[in-house]
Amino acid sequence: MATTIDDVARAAGVSTSTVSYVLSGKRPISAPTRQRVERAIRDLGYRPHAGARALASSRTNVLALMAPLRVDVNVSVIMQFVTGVVTAARTFDHDVLLLTADEIAGMERVANGSMVDALVMMDIEADDPRVPVLAGLSQPAVLIGLPRDPEGLSCVDLDFEAAGHLAVRHLARLGHRQVALLGSPQAVLDRHTSYAERMIRGFTRGAAEAGLTGLVEPCESSMAGAVTAVDRVLAALPDVTALVVHNEVALPWVLATLRERGRHVPDDVSVVAVCPPDVAVGQALPLTNVDIPAHTIGKVAVEMAMARVERDEPAETRLIAPMLVERASTVAPVR
């Protein structure tokens, strides 16, 4: 028969409420009494029921992570963010409830049902309809992304505007004068997804500041989409010598299409990829890349959520500075 809290109370010679207070920490208990209770818990092998712990502490030890798995997202990269969140949550003794749809009803259900202590939400749009709903919930929320108005919610993300600027600055330093950005699919841009728009702003600003001819071309996450995007760039800028690719799914097909069109990397076209490092080094030619530190961003999101839960700290926005790692895919253009 399973040990109960009453068994612990009898063994320690205290009331069940005292055992409950020792477990929850909601009231101070004298050191000798606490030691007796803790000894009884160890001796009896008592394991508090998760529901009872939640009722006693008003905590569930669960975080909700909304990571919409849309057809136009790279699931493998999304899962790197998920891994970062889950790993960090375990250090705070929290589990993660994963929501893979972007339905507001599901978000409200887990919050209003007191199923979670805090929420983390990905794939943020500039004017995201979920943000005001999150702002009205009793639980704190953290956004992996940067809406136009966070409405008092904490935000963390890579500084994508700085990432676009950094990629162009690197190419300008090498001497490239005509550059193009192969970016997110049109559906992502039509949703005004924050990271995609910020990448374009940074790329455009960087090209203008360096006096480069810059072109932005949406790219569908498919072989056909990559072929179309590359052909459009070559038609609009026949003398293009550098590409920035911010589309992990299309990246291998972009490289293959360049080869088929007689443009060799890096001799004819230099390529900078904005992607996690494993994607960059996993290509046939290791690519210079601006890192998307998915694990770090997920970890920071959890830390920000727990700071709100445990210490009621104010909301903050944290943008992680981009880092570029130079590899074999970028060289000075042939004159």
User: Would you state the pLDDT for residue 2?
Assistant: 65
Please tell me the pTM assigned to this model: 0.80
Please state the rounded mean pLDDT for residues 162-187. Answer: 97
Q: Which helix (H) or strand (E) holds 230?
A: helix 223-236
Asked whether residue 173 carries a pLDDT value surpassing 60, the answer given is yes
Task: Report the 10 Å Cβ neighbour count for 238.
Answer: 8
59 pLDDT band, cuts 50/70/90, is confident
Q: Which residues contact 80 (CB under 8 A, 6 or more apart)?
A: 276, 294, 295, 298
Assess whether pLDDT exceeds 80 at residue 220: yes
Question: CB of 313 within 8 A of CB of 155?
Answer: no
Give me the amino acid identity at 96.
V
- As a whole number, mean pLDDT of residues 73-89 equals 89
Q: What is the pLDDT of residue 55?
A: 45
Mean of pLDDT over the chain: 90
**Average pLDDT for 182-194:** 93
Q: Are 100 and 45 in contact (CB under 8 A)?
A: no
pLDDT digits (tens, 9 = 90+) for 266-299: 999 999 999 999 999 999 999 999 999 999 999 9
Tell me what pLDDT residue 334 has.
80
**C-beta separation of 81 from 195 below 8 A:** no
**Is residue 73 predicted with pLDDT exceeding 80?**
no
Per-residue pLDDT tens for 9-33? 899 998 877 887 777 665 678 888 8
In whole angstroms, give the CA distance from residue 303 to residue 80.
17
Whether pLDDT at 239 is above 60: yes
Whether the CB-CB separation of 191 and 125 falls below 8 Å is answered with yes
CA dihedral in degrees (95, 88, 155, 293; nearest 10)?
Answer: -130
Using CA atoms, how far residue 197 sits from 40, 90, 140, 184, 216, in Å, is 59, 33, 26, 9, 11
Q: What is the pLDDT of residue 328?
A: 96
Give the 3-state secondary structure of residue 252.
helix
> What pLDDT, on the 0 to 100 scale, is given for residue 24?
64
The average pLDDT across 314-331 equals 96
